[in-house]
Structure 1
Amino acid sequence: MSNSFHGAVEFRNVRKEFGKFTAIPALSLDIKPGELVTLLGPSGCGKTTTLRMLAGLESPTAGQILIGGQDVTRLPADRRDVSMVFQSYALFPHMTVVQNVAYGLEAGGMTAKKSHAAAEDALALVGLKGLGQRLPAELSGGQQQRVAVARALVLEPQVLLLDEPLSNLDARLRRHVRTEIRELQQRLGFTAVYVTHDQEEALAVSDRIVVMKDGHVEQIGTPRDLYEAPASEFIADFIGEANVVDAQVISVKDDQAEVDLGGVILSLPARDAKIGPVRVSLRANAMRVRQSTENTSGVAGVIATSAYLGDHVEYEIDGPLGRIFAVDDESDTPLPEGTAVRLDLRLRGIALIPAGAK
């Protein structure tokens, strides 16, 4: 197989209506060759509609879609140089694994001998060498998903599309297969557009993440950008379930803001903040929870609930910031409800939310 199949993707002011309902008002997005970009968001945000328009399974109401510089807006699905990996795998149960992978090549006119040789190469790429003569039912869920990926890759598309590819796998297998998909994408350098509603999955596999809400793009950035510098309260809450709390900017100088957060003064990137009230994203793991002692530093609070989860303890804590969620991975013994505590704040995981962002 070639390792050079990749293409750029462009959405130019794309609009999609279903009757009187506007699913995508105006989408503009550029994806670079060899980049894995994830479309992330809650159900109904427009991510799957966007992927289906790219695949040619839905037609835009307005705007343009380009793949590798070619306008494919009105081309049918079978004339676009893309392959899709579906949530359900969509394998033919009566065909062997190698027959499933070779099917698209044979349908395109390649001889059985050549298509089966290419299919065996693709199976080796995804770690399934020697399993070509098995039926899909004889494979595990993770192996079946890799067959679906091999079937898509063997066509050497400009763009690989993945629609919730791990949702049918259990949690441990999801972690394993997502790592395999990411390693394969980086090794072969193909362009991929990946749809998921799972924030952790998106953070793990993506070069960039496009977070969508109600058909609009809320923020585009690297996993680190979105986690550490959310552009809105929605992003802060959706990526990693941050606490969004009130604080006060005391001063701003050289793009740094002095911020009063629950009685603790912090210096944070200003992000265009002005002196006065501000909203702050406070990650659950950006705090160290300890019992109150004579040392009165940190944000005061009282344990409202606690839960032991093996490698960490989760707390809900009442205090001047309201009720907040905190994770303590340094203690294996939960503090009981009603315990007075102090929260030592770590700068990583705390960010000002730009004014006016919701």
Structure 2
Amino acid sequence: MTMIKAGSVSFQNVIKKFGDFTALPDLSMTVEPGTLVTLLGPSGCGKTTTLRLLAGLEHPTSGRVLIGGKDVTNLPANERDVSMVFQSYALFPHMTSLDNVAYGLQSSGLKKAEARERAEEGLALVGLAGMGHRLPAELSGGQQQRVAVARALVLEPQVLLLDEPLSNLDARLRRRVRTEIRELQQRLGFTAVYVTHDQDEALAVSDTIIVMKDGDIAQKGSPRELYEAPASAFIADFMGEANVLPCEVSHVENGLASVHIGDLMHQLPSAHAVTGKAQLAVRPNSIKLEQATIGALTGMITHSAYLGDHIEYEVETKFGKLFVVDMDAHEPLPRDISVAVHLTGRGLALIHH
């Protein structure tokens, strides 16, 4: 295979309507060459529509789409320098893995011998050397997924599009295949736009995550930025569960904010804190419980579940129900007891209205 030519992606004021429904009200975004950018969000947020617009399977109502600096807004799918890996893999069941990978190359006019040689290289690239003779039914789900990635990569696209590529795999395999996809992307340096609704997947594979809500970009940033500095309660809860508590910032000095949650006061490093009412996003594993009837913040355990390496609790407080994950406990605290709630340092983020 020749060198991957990583292209940029640009959406400029893209509006997409389906009849009276506006899927994308006004989307502008950029994907830098050689990066893996994930479009993340709940069902109906516009992420798949965005991917289909990029692939040429849909066309904007207005606005422009550019790939590698070239305006492709009105080009059909087969004239865009992109390849797509579908959720269902879309492999031909009657063709061997090698023939599946070679199919697109032959369709684009390459001689059969050369197409098969390139397909062999593609299979080797994804760790399936020597598996070309197998039919899709003779491969595991993870291997089928890699065949689909190889088939897309041998076309040497400027941009690889991945639509929920791991949703058909079980949890353990998902972890392994997402690592493989990320390592392959970093090794070859291709541009990838990856769609998922799974925040763990997005955190694991992305250079940049774009969280979408109602067809708009709710926040864009690195996995760490989105997890540790969410811009809203929606982002905080979507990027791994968060308890969102009302709070008041009384004082800010030298990058430290004094945050009051009821009678509980906590000092928090914060670059952009301002005094006044705010919200505090608290990760479930940032809360420590101890059996006590008094404390700055107390609650009642209403539910506990032992999950092997951790214990989950629901605690009723005057601010509502808190979800707590205890990674250290060996014995669950009993239900219906009063507990003091303590906040530890990490996993707390201030959200200003």
Q: Which position in structure 2 is the counterpart of 1:7?
A: 7
CA contact 1:206–1:223 (8 Å) conserved in 2? yes
Residue 310 (str. 1) matches residue 308 (str. 2): yes
Residue 273 of structure 1 and its aligned partner are, at CA, apart by: 4.2
Q: Which position in structure 2 is the counterpart of 1:68?
A: 68
Residue 220 (str. 1) matches residue 220 (str. 2): yes
Gaps of 5+ in 1: none
Counterpart code for 2:265: I
Which moves more between the two structures, 23-32 or 335-344?
Answer: 335-344
1:208 and 1:64 map into 2 onto residues whose CA distance is 22
Look up the SS of the partner of 1:285 in the other structure.
Answer: helix
Counterpart code for 1:349: G
2:352 and 2:190 map into 1 onto residues whose CA distance is 35
Q: Which position in structure 2 is the counterpart of 1:40?
A: 40
Q: Which position in structure 2 is the counterpart of 1:129?
A: 129
Deviation track 1:164-208 (CA, whole Å, cap 9, x = no partner) reads: 001111111111111110111011110000000111111111111
Q: Which position in structure 1 is the counterpart of 2:167?
A: 167
1:98 and 1:4 map into 2 onto residues whose CA distance is 20
Identity %: 63
Residue 29 (str. 1) matches residue 24 (str. 2): no
Counterpart code for 1:220: K
CA contact 2:260–2:266 (8 Å) conserved in 1? yes
Which moves more between the two structures, 315-324 or 198-207?
Answer: 315-324
2:62 and 2:105 map into 1 onto residues whose CA distance is 33
1:128 and 1:243 map into 2 onto residues whose CA distance is 44
Deviation track 1:153-173 (CA, whole Å, cap 9, x = no partner) reads: 000100000000011111111
Residue 340 of structure 1 and its aligned partner are, at CA, apart by: 2.1
Deviation track 1:22-73 (CA, whole Å, cap 9, x = no partner) reads: 1001111011011000000010000000000000000001111111110101
Look up the SS of the partner of 1:165 in the other structure.
Answer: coil
1:77 and 1:334 map into 2 onto residues whose CA distance is 56
Q: Which position in structure 2 is the counterpart of 1:194?
A: 194
Which moves more between the two structures, 180-189 or 251-260?
Answer: 251-260
Residue 237 of structure 1 and its aligned partner are, at CA, apart by: 1.1
Q: Which position in structure 2 is the counterpart of 1:301?
A: 299
1:39 and 1:130 map into 2 onto residues whose CA distance is 34
CA contact 1:272–1:354 (8 Å) conserved in 2? no
Deviation track 1:190-227 (CA, whole Å, cap 9, x = no partner) reads: 00000001111111111111000110110001111111
1:35 and 1:47 map into 2 onto residues whose CA distance is 18
- Correspondences of 1:218-257 after superposition (within 5 Å): 218-257=218-257
1:262 and 1:188 map into 2 onto residues whose CA distance is 52
Which moves more between the two structures, 172-181 or 341-350?
Answer: 341-350
Q: Which position in structure 2 is the counterpart of 1:323?
A: 321
Residue 247 of structure 1 and its aligned partner are, at CA, apart by: 1.1
Residue 260 of structure 1 and its aligned partner are, at CA, apart by: 1.1
Deviation track 1:267-288 (CA, whole Å, cap 9, x = no partner) reads: 2244644433211101101112
Look up the SS of the partner of 1:73 in the other structure.
Answer: coil
Counterpart code for 2:319: L
Q: Which position in structure 1 is the counterpart of 2:333?
A: 335
2:311 and 2:262 map into 1 onto residues whose CA distance is 22
2:223 and 2:281 map into 1 onto residues whose CA distance is 16
**TM-score w.r.t. structure 1 length?**
0.95
**TM-score w.r.t. structure 2 length?**
0.97
Task: State the number of aligned residues.
Answer: 353
Which moves more between the two structures, 260-269 or 104-113?
Answer: 260-269
1:277 and 1:69 map into 2 onto residues whose CA distance is 44
Residue 119 of structure 1 and its aligned partner are, at CA, apart by: 0.5
CA contact 2:4–2:157 (8 Å) conserved in 1? no
Look up the SS of the partner of 2:93 in the other structure.
Answer: coil
Deviation track 1:266-317 (CA, whole Å, cap 9, x = no partner) reads: 2224464443321110110111222228xx6663222111111111100011
Deviation track 1:100-135 (CA, whole Å, cap 9, x = no partner) reads: 000011011111111111111110111111000111
Look up the SS of the partner of 2:26 in the other structure.
Answer: strand
1:350 and 1:6 map into 2 onto residues whose CA distance is 37
Which moves more between the two structures, 325-334 or 252-261?
Answer: 252-261
Look up the SS of the partner of 2:101 in the other structure.
Answer: helix
1:135 and 1:87 map into 2 onto residues whose CA distance is 19
Residue 262 of structure 1 and its aligned partner are, at CA, apart by: 4.1
Look up the SS of the partner of 2:248 in the other structure.
Answer: strand
Look up the SS of the partner of 1:240 in the other structure.
Answer: coil
2:287 and 2:2 map into 1 onto residues whose CA distance is 48
Look up the SS of the partner of 1:137 in the other structure.
Answer: helix
Deviation track 1:75-124 (CA, whole Å, cap 9, x = no partner) reads: 11000000000000100111111000000110111111111111111101
RMSD over aligned Cα atoms: 1.4
Q: Which position in structure 1 is the counterpart of 2:96?
A: 96
1:3 and 1:287 map into 2 onto residues whose CA distance is 49
